[in-house]
Amino acid sequence: MEQASQSVYGFRAPLLDGRAVSLDEFRGRVLLIVNTASQCGFTPQYAGLEQLYRSYKARGLVVLGFPCNQFGRQEPGTAREIGTFCQQSYGVTFPVFDKIEVNGRGAHPLYQFLTREKPGLLGTRAIKWNFTKFLVDRRGGVAARYAPAKKPEDLTRAVERLLDVQ
């Protein structure tokens, strides 16, 4: 995997169906990248993420879900189980990728990039829990990082601001 130095567009990852996707497919759009889990206290945020996606996708927002099992083993399912859960429980229509790691030696290169570009509280790069969110501008730059407790509906102003920049 080659690493993009200035944007997310140089990264690839497989969707739940196994099809490899280049983030370059989303060039020119505002992205909300979220590490997700199906058995977490924050899992109901799937509903807010889907609502945000439906509300703004026509204007250029894409939510990208990256399931991760590194926090309390709260994403133990297979790709098929994760997809079924997301669709049946929350009507998710935004792209959901296959499980990845977001911390440590096995961290996906996309997450290495995101955490380097926008460290967390006190400069830490580590993702602390499920549903950490990264907002990416239309040029592929990381504009903001949000803690898991930040609800998707509380991101509307930031999303709109980035959508208004052409």
Residue type, 122: L
Rounded CA-CA distance 107/30 in Å is 23
Active site residue 40: yes
Element (H, E) at 144: strand 142-146
Residue 98 per-residue DSSP state? P
Distance of CA 99 to the CA centre of its chain: 12
Q: Copy the structure tokens of residue 79.
A: 């790709």
Instruction: Please name which of 104, 135, 131, 142 lies closest in space to residue 4, comparing C-alpha atoms.
Output: 142
Q: Which of 30, 40, 107, 142 is catalytic?
A: 40
Q: Copy the structure tokens of residue 102.
A: 């977001």
Instruction: Please name which of 31, 46, 109, 36 lies closest in space to residue 71, comparing C-alpha atoms.
Output: 36
> What is the sign, positive or negative, of the torsion defined by CA atoms of 147, 132, 53, 108?
positive
Residues known to be catalytic: 40
